Amino acid sequence: MEEKIQTILERFDFQKVRDYMILTNWTWVNQHGQSVPSVDEIRSTASRLLRAVASDEKEYSSTGTGGLVAHKFPWGLDLHFALERRSSY
């Protein structure tokens, strides 16, 4: 599973996410207050989320924060930056 996490982290465009966050003033709260996160902070958060879902014993799992969402499926992992989502059950 670690290889899948590394592949996602290498191929995901973290700069594109940060550019969007700057454009929209999308901020995260951190130890310094509230600011647009750095690429390293976004990458680190993505890594933590991917590892969390990968280690979940369930076949399907998801977790997210700050717009980043990680999913675990029987066939692999997924990471995306969610701008909006609407569901009806």
Tens digits of residue pLDDT in 46-61: 999 999 999 999 999 9
Backbone φ and ψ for 12, nearest 5 degrees, come out as -75, 140
Domain that holds residue 39: 2-81
Residue 25 falls within a domain, yes or no?
A: yes
87 belongs to a structural domain: no
Domain count, the chain: 1
* Residue 15 or residue 33, greater confidence: 15
Domain assignment present for residue 32? The answer is yes
The letter for the amino acid at 83 is L
The whole-model pTM stands at: 0.90
Label residue 87 by pLDDT band (50, 70, 90).
low
Q: What are the start-end ranges of the E strands in the chain? A: 28-30, 33-35, 61-65, 68-73, 76-81
